Structure 1
Amino acid sequence: MAAALALGATITLAAPAEGATTLYASPSGTGTACSSAEPCALPTAVAAAPAGATVQLKAGTYPSVTVKGGHGTVSAPVTVTPAPGAAATLTTVTGQADYVTWSGVRVTAPFYLTGTGDTVTGAHLDGGGLFVRGTNATVTGSLFENGSSIDGIQVGGAYGVVIEGNTVRDYNQSTNNGMHADCIQIFDSANVVVRRNNLSNCYNSGLILSVGAGKGIYGVTIEDNFISGCIVTSASCGGGSSVDLREASTVGLVVRNNTIGAGSARLGTQPGTVADHNIVTYLSDCSVPLTNSVVASWNTKLCGASLPLLKSGGNKAGTVRFADAARNDLHLAAAADATVTPVTSAVPRAATDIDGDATSASIAGADTPKGTGTATAADTTPPKAAISSPASGTSVSGTITLVATASDNVGLTDVIFRAAGVTLGAGTRAPDGSYRLTAATGSFPKGTYALTAVARDAAGHYTTSAAVTLKLT
């Protein structure tokens, strides 16, 4: 029998036959039949799968693989999932195929998503971590745990990512590899939504924004999460921060309706940052732009015995009791602890809480007890955006001014400009209502580029404008 497909091997297959809806892979699979009786290697099965097909994983531990090709589409992705009753374990996977849904898989090593439109759902990453590097990825309903000196979810150089409804916990620093262990880390990325997750007991931070390669972070919405640092006192967790959002390159940061538990909360003071309807157990910063929030305690050495921000903005000081903080169950034990007298914020509160219940303007945090909130219409309307200058077909060089128009039914958070898959920067709103960015072209080789503007609202929706073509001379 031939050896299993090697990591990074290239597969060339004919177009898949119509009606081939289920294919089978096994750890030692060979050939191209990809049938239940003659399973093939996982990369072979994905490359052969037609749009909408399912690849079923037979039992066993799979070797490290790079998955390429495939025929999934945005409306009919290829699904990879264990066969019924099969105990299938993936080790290192580099997913380069587009529109693949990894459903119910168990992974014990690093998992890289580098394609477009990929989804991880109902997965169990046990000892491994997920590294999102692609475009329009979704991570939902999954459990990440037991990693050592690795991040649970790391979003880097990515665009259009949704991380929702996951539990990330127990990432320690026991391996001496020079890497920190965060529940979620984000860098060099744009348009990222982190919603309704339970993050706790990660050595360095529950959620951190980092400098990366210095390309900037644009448009991050963090809402309806339970987030703690170390909740178990042991050598495996070093008392890390609950959140660290201070990265100076961040533009368009929205932090709303979160309950931030054990550990220091460093919320950041970047221009345009909005932090509304949060509960913060321990605040390390003195001048964050909090509104309608409850702060239980703070750094009195830096901020003083009386925290100025608690005197305005609908904020208040007070102890908040939780259902079980030691397990990061930060549901309210008493709703009165989280009540505020709200003032108008730069963004609306989230429409629903971590459980999907209607929120209340007078209750801070990620949990609004069922029946106490008031149903509000969720913002489901994306913004509009268009490039107004330069005109398509223009030849440009040196430093140029980019101009876009944008609007939203509720309110815009930011407008960014992109070319060749790179975020150029965030536009500044001009007196005429347009958004403008001065950009240097020197780092791009001569050629033709598609320029787009991306408008984002506080709900995390974003719209990419029609592209204009610019010729760099």
Structure 2
Amino acid sequence: MQLLSGTYPSLTVRGGHGTAAAPVTVKPASGASPSLTTVTSQANYVTWSGVLVTAPFYLTGTGDTVTGSHVNGGGLFVRGTNITVTGSLFENGSSIDGIQVGGAYGVLLKGNTVRNYNQSTNNGMHADCVQIFDSANVVVRRNNLSNCYNSGLILSVGAGDGIYGVTIEDNFISGCLVVSSACGGGSSVDLREASTVGLVVRNNTIGAGSARLGTQPGTVADRNIISYLSDCSVPLTNSVVASWNTKLCGTTLPLLQSGGNKAGTVRYANAASNDLHLTAAGATDATIKPVATTVPRAPTDIDGDATSATIAGADTPAGTGAATTADTTAPKTAISSPKSGSTVSGTVTLVATASDNVGLTDVIFRAAGLTLGAATKASDGSYRLTASTASFPKGVYTVTSVARDAAGNVATSVSVTLTLK
């Protein structure tokens, strides 16, 4: 589908759609300059390529992609399944998020720039570069996020359905580059949401604003550079911290004395514009003496260069990293109980097996398109979740287990069919 020049009214796409092998592509015609206002994409496997959107943009289908596009004055609201957003620019919104991922499953945000979201409109809404809530299996990779009023990247409670399996790696992230009436000095990252399970924060360079990392069990925060750390006790390893909250944490931060961490400032190309590439001297500043961790480093940096094992942050200057083989092997998982065809009621214990060649990050169960919750590893090595069926109407349901590893590889089990009476 090719768009001609002109300003389009509110657009809702539903009904016919593409397939995973042959998506429908919406793009400008050759030489055309179309401008879209509010877009609601409800169809499946639609690729939005090179479009300009000036109002809210909603993705609610399955297998949709936004690539090489520009959202100017609006924001993208991801509510679908298996959504990819890549190589796009989001900017200049007021009291709206640049990208908001809520009630979504299987989302990749890669190579985008999100910037300059203020809170000038009095609608009671915060302005974040990226906000995530009530979602599972979300990867945020190689993005440049900055100058958003409330936070560069935030995990939020939403409806309280939980956040499962979020990987944040190879990003430049800052809050307000200059504190002003348009930008209030919010956090660079705020990852403290207590419902989060399976959070990996790896090889990021976190600039202006407070970094609030959280202490959820199982969280991994490895090989990051942090300009200002607001927490006194976080699971930080192999990272460089320039400054921290000395009133709460004291002038000596114990976590910087172990785990491969160190204190020190880092020199960047232009921190004032969120260009957090390392200068030659900055590469020395960011050099660490790593200790072993359970999560492998990201194989490439924000520019696609090979990552160095001894340089923290999102940028490894070209030629200083060692070529590595990315972990592309997906985990394995299968539901062992209840057996397919079983009839259940009341409280049900779901049991699955799961394994990975490197190491699992988390295992969750899904039914009727919803995430039921994160499983707990039992003493026999199985993964179990006890769930109430009270909120589900009687009927037949397909249930799957989903396993994820630290590299973001995901495996979904063969489904079992359960009858709820």
Q: TM-score range by the shorter chain?
A: over 0.9
Measure, in 2, the Cα distance between the counterparts of 1:304 and 1:448.
57
Instruction: Work out whether 1:162 is the aligned partner of 2:108.
Output: yes
Query: Could you state the TM-score of these two structures normalised by the residue count of structure 1?
Result: 0.88
Deviation at 1:463, TM superposition (A): 1.0
Deviation at 1:74, TM superposition (A): 0.2
Spell out, residue by residue over 1:301-358, the C-alpha distance to the aligned partner (whole angstroms, 9 max, x if none).
1111110100110000001111000110000112110011101112111000000111
In the alignment, structure 1 segments of 5+ residues that lack a partner are 1-54
Measure, in 1, the Cα distance between the counterparts of 2:65 and 2:355.
29
Q: What is the correspondence of 1:5-154 to structure 2 with a 5 Å cutoff?
A: 55-154=1-100
Equivalent position of 1:348 in the other structure: 296
Deviation at 1:385, TM superposition (A): 0.9
Equivalent position of 1:194 in the other structure: 140
Letter in 2 for 1:471: T
Measure, in 1, the Cα distance between the counterparts of 2:37 and 2:364.
37
Equivalent position of 1:303 in the other structure: 249
- Pick from 334, 341, 344 the counterpart of residue 396 of structure 1: 344
- Pick from 393, 400, 408 the counterpart of residue 452 of structure 1: 400
Measure, in 2, the Cα distance between the counterparts of 1:78 and 1:422.
26
Measure, in 1, the Cα distance between the counterparts of 2:97 and 2:9.
22
Letter in 2 for 1:379: D
- Pick from 158, 163, 171 the counterpart of residue 212 of structure 1: 158
Equivalent position of 1:372 in the other structure: 320
Measure, in 2, the Cα distance between the counterparts of 1:285 and 1:75.
46
Equivalent position of 1:264 in the other structure: 210
Equivalent position of 1:39 in the other structure: none
Spell out, residue by residue over 1:14-51, the C-alpha distance to the aligned partner (whole angstroms, 9 max, x if none).
xxxxxxxxxxxxxxxxxxxxxxxxxxxxxxxxxxxxxx
Letter in 2 for 1:345: T
Letter in 1 for 2:289: T
Measure, in 1, the Cα distance between the counterparts of 2:37 and 2:76.
12
Deviation at 1:233, TM superposition (A): 3.2
Instruction: Work out whether 1:183 is the aligned partner of 2:129.
Output: yes
Q: Secondary structure at the match of 1:379?
A: coil
Letter in 2 for 1:204: N
Measure, in 1, the Cα distance between the counterparts of 2:107 and 2:37.
23
Measure, in 1, the Cα distance between the counterparts of 2:234 and 2:17.
47
Spell out, residue by residue over 1:355-392, the C-alpha distance to the aligned partner (whole angstroms, 9 max, x if none).
01111111100001111111110011111110010000
Q: Secondary structure at the match of 1:391?
A: coil
Runs of 4+, deviation exceeding 2 Å = none
Measure, in 1, the Cα distance between the counterparts of 2:28 and 2:16.
18
Equivalent position of 2:284 in the other structure: 336
Among all aligned residue pairs of Structure 1 and Structure 2, give the percentage whose two residues are the same amino acid: 82
Instruction: Work out whether 1:243 is the aligned partner of 2:189.
Output: yes
Measure, in 2, the Cα distance between the counterparts of 1:345 and 1:197.
24
Measure, in 2, the Cα distance between the counterparts of 1:174 and 1:440.
43
Measure, in 1, the Cα distance between the counterparts of 2:379 and 2:58.
43
Deviation at 1:91, TM superposition (A): 0.3
Measure, in 2, the Cα distance between the counterparts of 1:137 and 1:264.
29
Spell out, residue by residue over 1:179-205, the C-alpha distance to the aligned partner (whole angstroms, 9 max, x if none).
000000000000000000000000000
Measure, in 2, the Cα distance between the counterparts of 1:415 and 1:399.
19
Spell out, residue by residue over 1:382-413, the C-alpha distance to the aligned partner (whole angstroms, 9 max, x if none).
11110010000111111111110111111110
Measure, in 2, the Cα distance between the counterparts of 1:238 and 1:345.
36
Deviation at 1:440, TM superposition (A): 1.0
Deviation at 1:232, TM superposition (A): 2.4
More displaced, 249-258 or 70-79?
A: 70-79
Measure, in 1, the Cα distance between the counterparts of 2:67 and 2:272.
27
Letter in 1 for 2:204: N
Instruction: Work out whether 1:221 is the aligned partner of 2:167.
Output: yes
Measure, in 2, the Cα distance between the counterparts of 1:460 and 1:60.
40
Measure, in 2, the Cα distance between the counterparts of 1:212 and 1:240.
19
Equivalent position of 1:429 in the other structure: 377
Instruction: Work out whether 1:417 is the aligned partner of 2:401.
Output: no
Instruction: Work out whether 1:361 is the aligned partner of 2:316.
Output: no
Of structures 1 and 2, the one scoring higher in RCO (CA 8 A, sep 6+) is: 2
Deviation at 1:70, TM superposition (A): 2.1
Measure, in 2, the Cα distance between the counterparts of 1:401 and 1:228.
42
Measure, in 1, the Cα distance between the counterparts of 2:81 and 2:341.
27
Equivalent position of 2:224 in the other structure: 278
Deviation at 1:67, TM superposition (A): 0.6
> What's the RMSD between the two structures over aligned residues?
0.6
In the alignment, structure 2 segments of 5+ residues that lack a partner are none
Measure, in 1, the Cα distance between the counterparts of 2:215 and 2:397.
34
Instruction: Work out whether 1:231 is the aligned partner of 2:177.
Output: yes
Deviation at 1:66, TM superposition (A): 1.1
Q: Secondary structure at the match of 1:137?
A: strand
Letter in 1 for 2:286: A
Instruction: Work out whether 1:252 is the aligned partner of 2:198.
Output: yes
Measure, in 2, the Cα distance between the counterparts of 1:298 and 1:234.
22
- Give the total of aligned pairs: 419
Answer with 1 or 2: which has the greater Rg: 1
Measure, in 2, the Cα distance between the counterparts of 1:362 and 1:87.
46
Measure, in 2, the Cα distance between the counterparts of 1:71 and 1:162.
21
Deviation at 1:171, TM superposition (A): 0.2
More displaced, 100-109 or 325-334?
A: 325-334
